[in-house]
Amino acid sequence: MTNLIEPSATLQPLAPPSGGECQVFDWIENFGRYTEDIPSFVREVCNRFVGCDMPLDRVSIVMRTLHPQISTSGYMWRDGVDELSLFTADHQTQTRESYQRSPVRLIFEGSPGLRRRLADPDCPRDFPVLIDLDGEGVTDYLILPIPFSDGRSYACSWATKAPGGFTDAQIGRIQAVMPTFSLVLEILAARDISHNLMDTYLGHKTGERVLNGGIYRGVNETIEAALWISDLRGFTALSDKLAPPVLLGILNDHFERIVGAIEKYDGEVLKFIGDSVLAIFPIDQYGDAMGAAEAAVGAAREAVRRLEERNVERQEKNIPALGYGIALHMGEVVYGNIGAPNRLDFTVIGPAVNHTARIEQLCRTMSRPVLISATVAEATDQPVTSLGFHALRGVREPHEIFTLPEYA
Amino acid sequence: MSKAAPVIKWMVKDGRLTAHNMRDFGDRFCEHIVAARMVQSYPILL
């Protein structure tokens, strides 16, 4: 016998009757929102339910999120397994058959819930997941919406291997806990999303600073760092020649390779300015100037390797290679909020940033992919080759400029 | 059942899903507090 759960009007009263059930309610109400993250919260709720004689064997949560690469996050708890399984889906997941044929889709589209009593041989196995669960010995499967205050609903499924499935009282207890359970999940999900957005738009470390309260103008500090400014050669000419989608594809590919190289060496990308990238390798993060310089030089080498890979592919298709320049310098910068009181940028400013930008401009005239200032050259153990002294626009004294031996 | 139970029930089940903003939620929360006879009138809560 199958049973489609009716809308919330038919749910059991919220007030917990007594006993073990209270422990789940009380814990969620009093402590749930203080848990570190969604997996910890779900694990605690499930373990407490089991401790109150709820025969749970598998609980799965599926929620949409706001992330550039991930559309949906899932968490699966299994009885006796300490760690939850985490799974994610990309932004194409909704077009896939696995999603289309999943009960999760029904819940996301507004269904009030679904129950399949797999212990009953006549119960339809009308979703592929039910066939899998039947094979695992699951006797009852319930999937319910997790309503969020923005009007969207996500999904939580509850499964048991108990002979005969869940009792009516057990189903009532699960339904009764859902509003409070959903309330805490929404709080934890909102926290996750704010971190994702900060990571995406400000970078991980800078995002953490902003979330920890560094949100107003005047919050800044002077730091020493290796600085990175890079750009794509001939971007303006390309902009005139190529259709915007093609140009965007080139730019995104370029940034992906540059950012990947910087992040491989734990640098922090602060911003994209047109076709340029500004990044820092703070000295206190690496312990000393040598550590920061080594990281910046390593990242530059890695970026060149990745960009040249792309250029080989382009040349194989008879498309001209793309030029680029990377400048590395080291110095003191002001790191923090800069802007109008209500519209801020968390970035670095100072003469050292200007010097880096000037050195980067030399990459074109000197036809070198990587140029390094004397401060980085002195700090690194890597061999470097001097290219002589060069005037930098707006800087009084000529500066000795270096490159890596392979580009000399 | 405590006097607070219906207020909590409203908050977790309906209040968080139907309030338009924090002020609306606050107004309706206070109305529920008064209805539950937890206080005589809600201005004293403010």
**What are the counts of helices (DSSP H) followed by strands (DSSP E) for chain B?**
3, 0
> Which residue type sits at B1?
M
Q: Is the pLDDT of residue A93 over 60?
A: yes
ipTM of the complex: 0.74
Mean pLDDT of A84-110: 91
Domain with B41 in it: 17-46
The class that CATH gives domain A203-407 is alpha beta
- Whether B9 is in a domain gets the answer no
Q: Among A60, A64, A84, A80, which Cα is nearest to A72's?
A: A64
A185: closest chain B residue by CA: B12
CA distance A96 to A110: 19
pLDDT per residue as tens digits for the range A344-398 = 989 999 999 999 999 999 999 999 999 999 999 999 999 999 999 999 888 888 9
CB of B16 less than 8 A from some CB of A: yes
Number of domains in chain B: 1
- Whether B37 is in a domain gets the answer yes
Calculate the CA A324 to chain-centre distance.
28
- Whether B11 is in a domain gets the answer no
Mean pLDDT for chain A overall = 90
- Whether B44 is in a domain gets the answer yes
pLDDT per residue as tens digits for the range A201-240 = 999 989 999 998 888 888 889 999 999 999 999 888 888 8
A14: closest chain B residue by CA: B9
Kindly determine whether residue B12 and residue A183, on different chains, have CB atoms separated by under 8 Å. yes
Contacts of B17 in chain A (CB under 8 A): 147, 149
What stretches of A8-127 show up as alpha helix (H) in DSSP? 20-31, 38-51, 97-100, 103-108
| The CATH number of domain A8-192, selected from 3.30.450.40, 3.40.50.360, 2.40.70.10, 3.40.50.2300 | 3.30.450.40
Kindly determine whether residue A183 and residue B19, on different chains, have CB atoms separated by under 8 Å. no
Where do the domains of chain A lie?
Answer: 8-192, 203-407
Q: Among A238, A59, A64, which Cα is nearest to A157's?
A: A59
- State the smallest CA–CA distance between residue B13 and chain A in angstroms: 5
Return the number of CB contacts < 8 Å for A and B: 19
- Whether B3 is in a domain gets the answer no
What residues contact residue A3 under an 8 Å CB cut-off, 6+ apart?
A115, A117
- Whether B42 is in a domain gets the answer yes
